[in-house]
Amino acid sequence: MTAGTAFPALAALPGIGLAELDARAALQSRVDRKYIVPVAEAGWLLLRLAPHAVVLDIDGIRHFTYESLYFDTPDLSSYLRTAYRHRRRFKIRTRTYADTGSCWLEVKVPGPRGSTVKYRVPHDLEQRDTVGAGRAFVEEVFGRHGLAADGRADLGPVLRTAYLRFTLLLPDSDSRVTVDTDLRWIAGGRELRLPATAIVETKTGAAASTADRRLWRRGHRPVAISKYATGLAAFRADLPAAPWRRVLRRHFTAVREELHHG
C-alpha cells in the first residue's frame, strides 16, 4: 500500500495553518515517542484520530515532501555521543520543505526529564548542503548548552533522508502527531528504502496523547530510532549501535542485506 492510497481521510479533516499550529503546539521543548508500524497501521490510526484532529494545511497541501541533511565531525562526534547516550549530545541538520521551497538550519539537544530541545533559524536554500552562514547560530547554541569545542569543528554532510509527512494537531492536548512514509536514507552514493513502513511520532508536553494510547492498545510500543543515527548504522556495520540494535534487526535486516550484496 502506498502513502497516496493509505491516507484518503486526510482530505476530509479540518485544516490548520502553520502559524496557528506553531502558536498552539510549537513544542520546541517536548517529549517525543516514536513508533515503527506498517503503512496500513498508520492509516488505521488516522481514521481513529480523525474525529478529534486537524491537519496541517499550507496552500492546499497536506502531505509534504521533507528532506534533511545531517552534519557531523570527521570523527562522527554527533553520532557517537548519541550511540553512547552522552548527556551533551547534539544533532545538526538542514531541513528542506520541498513543497514550499523553504529551508531551516536546526540544532537539537537533550532537555530536562527526557525531553528534546530544538533550535532553528531560516537557512539559504542554496546553502542547504553546508552549515555555511549558520555557523554562528550553531556556536551560540553549543555555548548555551556547554557543548565542548570538539563538537563544533569541521561539520560536514554525512547522511541525507527524504520522506513524505503529514502533521496532525490533537486539540484536546495541543499535541502533535507526525506520520512519515516513503522513507529513504542516502549516504556515500547508496540508498536504503522502507516503502511499506511508517514512522509515527507523537510530540507532547509530558503526558501521553490520545495517539499514544491508541497505539498502545493496538500492541505498538515506542522504539529507539533516530533517522540520522539508525540510518547511518544501517549503512555502516562497523559503528556502535546498541540503542538501535533491535530496530535494525527487526526493520532493516532485509534492506541491509540487499545493500551489502547488491
Q: Where are the domains of the chain?
A: 20-261
pLDDT score for 25: 67
Quote the pTM value: 0.90
Contact 163, 182 (CB under 8 A): yes
Overall average pLDDT of the 219-241 stretch: 95
Burial of 86 by CB count in 10 Å (0-12 exposed, 13-18 middle, 19+ buried)?
Answer: middle
Residue 59: CB atoms within 10 Å: 7
CA 94 to chain centre: 12
Beta bridge partners of 202: 33, 177
C-alpha span between 262 and 251 (Å, rounded): 18
Neighbours of 22 (CB within 10 A): 12
Q: What is the mean pLDDT of residues 30-53?
A: 93
Q: Is 70 exceeded by the pLDDT of residue 261?
A: no
Between CA 198 and CA 40 the distance in angstroms is 9
Contact indicator for 165, 178 with CB cutoff of 8 Å: yes
Lowest mean pLDDT among 11-20, 147-156, 212-221: 147-156
Quick one: pLDDT at residue 2?
43
Residue linked to cell 493496538: 218
Q: How far apart are CA 260 and CA 182, in angstroms?
A: 21
For residue 51, is pLDDT > 70?
yes
Pick the CATH number of 20-261 from 1.10.10.10, 2.40.320.10, 3.40.50.970, 3.40.50.20: 2.40.320.10
The answer, yes or no, to whether residue 146 has pLDDT greater than 90, is no
